[in-house]
Amino acid sequence: MVTLAIVARALRPKAKVIALIGRPEKAHILMPYCHAIYPSAKLRLIDETRMRAALLDGQQGRLATRWTNWLAMTGFFDPEILRTRFAWWHETFLRMRPALIVAEFAPTALLAARALGIPSCATGNSFGVPPAHMPRFAPLVAEGETDGIEFDDTRLLSAVNRVVGPYALPELMALPEIYRSDIALPTGISEWDPYAPWRQEALLPPVAEIPPLADGSGEEVFIYFSVDELEEPANLEAIAALDIPARLYAPQMSEAQRARLASNPALTIESAPVPQREIVARTRVLVCAGQAGTLGLGVLAGLPVLNLPRQSEQRFNACGRHGFRPAGASHAPSAAARASWQRLPISGPTLALVQAHGRLRRPCAVATPKTRFKASGVSSGQD
């Protein structure tokens, strides 16, 4: 949602920006840049047992970390589910007649835009904006990890073509083509872009503004847990026991969790987002789940980061590509999380992070959504 806000801010001076979002609780992020916000079609994950029965004949075992699997979990293997979702977007765009459609984690919306001949933009973090010209989705496993059971692309591709065929869209030859758009605005840092070998455009910064470089005077541990990270007992226990100054922002924290942590005199619990300049000035170590934006903030500011991943994208971010490991990572619950907390790097930025900061900071400042739109020739119109 932060990426959509960055794009909306770039478009706002010349366009009437209307947002359709599936997570109304995130509307406040877009509100300053949109004329109106409405709910979109709700994305529902498919029961894994049903998905395995349809695509793997019930075969058991760990699933591969490949984007094909995410698409399957959202119903792309089932023509009826896909047809209903596609029809909703198609009808909505037909009524609204927008000059430009910007989609984040919404490949069905991109398909509907193409069917109507409306210019489109695919945006989001690099993990969720696969290059459309790839012959198939690349593995999303970190270096040294093994993959699992993979779904067959052709099953999903057949379902897509059955749905879009009646709308006079040319047949898709490969599944990544569902992400084809007039302009792509992926964000992130190339060292942990899973699609770096296929990426044709430079990545935009993963944060709204490039942060200042930390001067090393920060004394706090800053912790950002965006969803359910505190459900992991080791995380809750570690924060409750911290005996150094710490600051926590966890918008999904329960009242029971808040009560447990409020007894720690070293901990300040924030009720609203903390400006990134304040984070950089105060922080000695940044702790998060490995979200692209928060991790990017830490690396670009030259702060050491402790990652405690909760899902595959965060695990990939934590472990990186080509040996680039911006922080410690916890791959398994409890025991591994406790071990990661015990390695909390409170002595200041590591040499690897400082070197990474110098290498990554400059290219991230080159492009913005506004300059990319101008260069592409895609117009947002006035509506």
- Residues 182 and 376: beta-carbon distance below 8 Å: yes
Report pTM: 0.77
Please list the residues that pair with 326 across neighbouring strands.
none
- Residues 158 and 137: beta-carbon distance below 8 Å: no
Residue 369: closest CA among 191, 130, 121, 128: 121
Q: What b/e sequence results for 344-366 when a residue is b if at least 16 CB atoms lie within 10 Å of its CB, and e otherwise?
A: bbeeebeeebeebbeebbeebee
- Residues 310 and 229: beta-carbon distance below 8 Å: yes
The residues of the chain scoring below 50 in pLDDT are 321-333, 346-366, 382-383
- Residues 89 and 108: beta-carbon distance below 8 Å: yes
Helix (H) or strand (E) segment spanning residue 185:
strand 183-187
> pLDDT digit string (tens) for 115-134?
999 999 999 988 889 999 99
Q: Which amino acid is at 7?
A: V
Per-residue model confidence (pLDDT) at position 375: 57
Per-residue model confidence (pLDDT) at position 25: 79
> pLDDT digit string (tens) for 325-351?
444 433 444 555 556 666 565 443 333
Domains and their CATH numbers in the chain = 2-204+367-376 (3.40.50), 220-364 (3.40.50.2000)
Per-residue model confidence (pLDDT) at position 204: 87
Helix (H) or strand (E) segment spanning residue 296:
helix 292-301
Residue 5: closest CA among 16, 15, 19, 25: 19
Per-residue model confidence (pLDDT) at position 114: 95
